Amino acid sequence: MERKKIKLVVVLLLIPLFSLLIGYDTDPIAQSATITSNDHLILAKMISGEARGEPYIGQVAVGGVILNRVRDERFPNTVYGVCFQPGAFDAVRDGQYYAHPTQDAIRAARDALNGWDPTHGALYYWNPVTATSRWIWTRTITLRIGRHVFGI
Amino acid sequence: MRKWIIPLLVVALLVTGYYAYGQSRLNDDLIRRAEAQYQKSFHELVWGMDTINSQLAQTLVTSSPEQIMSSLTNIWREAFGAQANLASIPVIMVELDKTQKLLDDIASYSYYLLKENNINQKKLTAKEWDKIQGLYDRSVAVCDDLSLMEASILNNNISFVDMETRALRRGENLTNHVIVDGFTNIENKVKSYPEMQFDEGIQKLEREPRPIAGKEITEEEALEIARNFFNKLSGPVSNVEMAFDANGKIPTYGISGLREETNSPTYVEVTKKGGHIIEMYTNRQIGEGVLEIEEGERVARDFLASMNLNNLELVEVNSNSQTAIFTFVPTEDGVLLYSDMVKAQVALDNGEILSFDQTSFLSYHHQRNIQRATLEAQEITVNMNPNFKILQTRLALVPNEFEDQEILAYEIKGQINNETFILFVDANTGEDVRVVRMTKPREYEMLVRG
């Protein structure tokens, strides 16, 4: 009985230590894919971090919004500038951006870079469940794909 | 055994405590670093706005061309810096559309005046003085508020990181906050001025898609159009259903389906007006390509012909080892209509059409009645760098970047230093309209999630 308790205490104490050593890099890497430019990679990482698990067309739409911002005079003029505007995207804030992108995201980014845009000009998207900014709701909603709403 | 526990716990506590101390110091250090970045961007924004403001004032009082040119150069440079600095501070929760627009107006108008002054040797006109006055008035309002904010931030050690954490991470609604209120006031002040109107030719134009004509269709009709399209395309498509209803600049119904052969999701968008298939998407794992680009082009052309898109000229191929994206434009009297492009992506492993886009074609295609070019191609190419090896010359109608009109131009494709360029030269004035560098994408492999 006594021994068991000690073991339990030791195990409980070791858990935080182990978790420190391991970190939480549980990113499963399966294969490689072809990237054709650094903008393509940035966009793919962003789509992957923001819209992984969304319908494919919703992932292209996220890429479309980023590229629409690059062209809009009210936003920075580069893909990198738009993606890393402070507070603009959750994936940059929570670090999802830095994970390896998914195959789907790489293809969606390629479609978006080549001009496909199911939103036809949207500048914003948000998740109605988790959106923290109340201001975002003043935007005109133009469509809804999966968990995201898109607006101008 | 009991005697072991106490020392063990003490050691554990010490280790944990030491670790926590280290983490906390690291955390403070990182916060200070982030804060320093934000403060730097903010103070540079204030400084930049001050510079813009005083240079605009100087432009208003001087008439010497050198002085005006120097002021305009400074304004143009600082306006770009101010845009970048404003985008680097975490105020995404404040709507700043008009303020950002103002900075863009300042940048593009000063650039325009520089060009006019310098290249066309023009003096400022009364109308131009007036515009500068308008920009100056607005910049005064912005500067006043910014320096008040700056003083308050300095005096009270207001932290951008703290504001960011509270507003963006915890979703707090910050009222009576120096930064949030400050920027909100600036935006409201800029908004209270009438929006500045500039003539065409001054600012870069983001062309709005023209409304697509046609009869309004119902959801059922859209589904029927999608089914017919899928049936015609290749192999059976099941689970055809409405995926979204878009009311943006081009209202469409989004319809999803499943391509049974490859078990891959596919989507089409049908325009609410006229019931056109405007875009298509397919997502699947694509194998190494076995098809030649030429075969891919034939597949794309056949597909487009089945969509009644004929007489197309190929203007660009963007391919990697798996797919090729072909961009075609229609012609009128042999002139390429660049505004009306269509795109098709072909999978090079099995020759399947993956995606298709005719947004531009549906928006812009119409009869142009193109006038004859006043210059011969020969008259233009004769003055070009002899090392530029010309491969092809065609006539094209290209959109003007600054005005809502099109320019008749020679599309001159050629090579220099083993690189391919396409030059668009105005067929009436002989001026270069645009130079496009056709870089072949450098492919590299990237590890991905499974």
Backbone φ and ψ of B355, nearest 5°: -150, 165
Rounded to whole angstroms, the Cα distance separating A102 from B329 reads 33
Q: What is the DSSP letter of B167?
A: I
Contact A74 B104 (CB under 8 A): yes
- Whether B219-364 shares its CATH topology with B377-438 is answered no
Q: How distant is the Cα of B31 from the closest Cα of chain A, in angstroms?
A: 14
Contact A10 B442 (CB under 8 A): no
- Chain B residues 98-127 with a CB less than 8 Å from chain A: 100-101, 104
Whether the CB of B178 is below 8 Å from some CB of chain A: the reply is no
pLDDT in tens, B103-138: 999 999 999 998 887 776 778 888 999 999 999 999
- Residue A101: both structure tokens together: 């992108």
Better pLDDT: B402 or B101: B101
pLDDT in tens, A69-117: 999 988 998 999 999 999 889 899 899 999 999 999 999 999 999 999 9
CB B185 within 8 A of CB B165: no
B427 residue type, one letter: A
Indicate whether A22 pLDDT > 60.
no
CB pairs under 8 A between A and B: 196
Q: What integer pLDDT is reported at residue B297 of this predicted model? A: 96
pLDDT in tens, B347-383: 999 999 999 999 999 999 999 999 999 999 999 999 8
Q: How distant is the Cα of A74 from the closest Cα of chain B, in angstroms?
A: 5
Rounded to whole angstroms, the Cα distance separating B74 from B48 reads 10
pLDDT in tens, B54-76: 999 999 998 888 888 999 999 99
**Axis-axis angle for helices B126-156, B97-118 (nearest 10):** 140
Hey, CA dihedral for B298, B302, B305, B307, is it positive or negative? negative
- Once rounded to an integer, what is the mean pLDDT over residues B319-325? 90
Calculate the average pLDDT of chain A.
Answer: 85
- Once rounded to an integer, what is the mean pLDDT over residues B5-32? 94
Burial class (CB in 10 A: 0-12, 13-18, 19+), B218: exposed
CATH for the stretch B377-438:
3.10.450
Rounded to whole angstroms, the Cα distance separating B328 from B309 reads 10
pLDDT in tens, B292-312: 999 999 999 999 999 999 999
Whether the CB of B279 is below 8 Å from some CB of chain A: the reply is yes
Domain ranges of chain B: 16-192, 219-364, 377-438
**What's the pLDDT band for A2 if we cut at 50, 70, 90?**
low
Contact A13 B8 (CB under 8 A): yes
Q: What integer pLDDT is reported at residue B387 of this predicted model? A: 93
The partner residue sitting opposite B248, judged by closest CB among A20, A87, A120, is A120
pLDDT in tens, B217-272: 999 999 999 999 998 887 789 999 999 999 989 999 999 999 998 899 999 999 99
pLDDT in tens, B25-58: 999 999 999 999 999 999 999 999 999 999 999 9
In a mutagenesis test of the B interface, which of A143, A144, A148, A149 is the best target, namely the one with the most B β-carbons within 10 Å? Answer: A143
pLDDT in tens, B372-424: 999 999 999 998 999 999 999 999 999 988 778 899 999 999 999 988 999 99
ipTM of this complex: 0.89
CATH for the stretch B219-364:
3.30.310
Domains, chain A, in order of start with CATH, read 36-151 (1.10.10.2520)
The predicted model scores a pTM of: 0.88
Rounded to whole angstroms, the Cα distance separating B3 from B339 reads 84
**What's the pLDDT band for A33 if we cut at 50, 70, 90?**
confident
Contact B248 A48 (CB under 8 A): no
- Chain A residues 28-87 with a CB less than 8 Å from chain B: 28-37, 41, 44, 48, 55-57, 60, 71-76, 81, 85-87
Indicate whether B207 pLDDT > 90.
no
Whether the CB of A139 is below 8 Å from some CB of chain B: the reply is no
Backbone φ and ψ of B320, nearest 5°: -125, -165
Indicate whether B4 pLDDT > 80.
yes
